[in-house]
Amino acid sequence: MKGIILAGGNGSRLAPMTTAVSKQLLPIYDKPLIYYPIATLMLADIREQLIITSPRDTEAFRNLLGDGSQFGMTFDYATQDLPRGLADAFLIGRNFVGDSKVALALGDNIFHGSGLGNQLTKLTSVDGAHIFAYKVTDPENYGVVEFDENHQVISIEEKPLVPKSNFAIPGLYFYDNDVLDIAREIQPSARGELEITSINEIYLRTGKLFVEILPRGTAWLDTGTPENMLAASMYVKVIEDRQGYKLACLEEIAYRKGWISQRDLDSRLIGLTSNSYNKYLTQIGD
């Protein structure tokens, strides 16, 4: 399975912070926001990732992440000149995905929870589509999934004015290769965008959509507003301070998975300043 991270958009809700820089390059506590969706896909054992950015920001992402070899991975880059919707990621990334299955992660979503890695690795052989549901207090701001009394999916709506449930669909999606052709067939919505909901509705009609409710112990953080970015930073700080490990430390995930060696990790530290992140890296192999 390959992964796509959609990190385009103009981040208008975060202006003026995003006037000159992508929101995915802004910090969530001690690391750039883009680290978190990369880490989520890494936990699913996805080593080939395509990062879709705005044309303005591509070089900045390359400077930050390189080709991925330092993590035992491969990063490719593509651009989305206008925010044409989430499903546009499959049109942009069609050649990258090729004959593989694919996971799509939104660049401003953060996931954290015990056992999340084991949960995600089971989805890399998905037949159809696998998405998640998460109970929220403001479902009108998200795609919403409606269940019947047997927890079977009835409907999916994109940012409904009157939501039929409180279950939002977080920005993490797993698909078989059919999604590439489905994305080519859907039409723009009334908002003028290619909606991911349109793709999920097609899988639902064909009986190939599986929706899993994220357990209460799993945190999903959407960082689209200044308030949410602050809350996410505080969440990460509390977890890291109290539990003594770092969230979304790409070097550690790569090392634990055997994608890089102790020697690779040590070479990564050469010349780095002695801040808290780099001090943590020195302890990983101990």
Predicted confidence (pLDDT) per residue in 190-206, tens digit: 888 999 999 999 999 99
What three-state secondary structure class fits 50?
strand
94-105 tens-digit pLDDT:
999 999 999 999
Asked if 5 and 41 count as a contact pair (C-beta separation under 8 A), the reply is yes
Q: What CA–CA distance (Å, rounded) separates 214 from 49?
A: 24
* C-beta separation of 147 from 164 below 8 A: no
Q: 66 pLDDT exceeds 90?
A: yes
- The mean pLDDT value of the chain amounts to 94
Residue 219 buriedness (CB in 10 A; 0-12 / 13-18 / 19+): middle
Encoded amino acid at 226, one letter: P
Q: What is the pLDDT of residues 248-259, one digit of tens each?
A: 999 999 999 999
Nearest partner of 174 among 48, 46, 33, 24, judged by Cα = 46
Separation CA 229–CA 101 (nearest Å)? 31
Per-residue model confidence as pLDDT tens digits over 10-48: 778 888 988 889 999 999 999 999 999 999 999 999 999
Quick one: which of 237, 238, 251, 239 has its CA closest to 280?
251
pLDDT value of position 44: 97
Domains and CATH numbers, the chain: 2-129+170-248 (3.90.550.10)
pLDDT tops 70 at residue 213:
yes
- Specify the DSSP class assigned to residue 83: -
Torsions phi, psi for 250 (to 5 deg): -65, -40
Contact in structure between 234 and 240 (CB atoms under 8 Å): no
Q: Which of the four pLDDT bands, split at 50, 70 and 90, describes residue 286?
A: low
The pTM assigned to this predicted structure is 0.96
The pLDDT tens digits of the residues spanning 135-152 come to 999 999 999 999 988 778
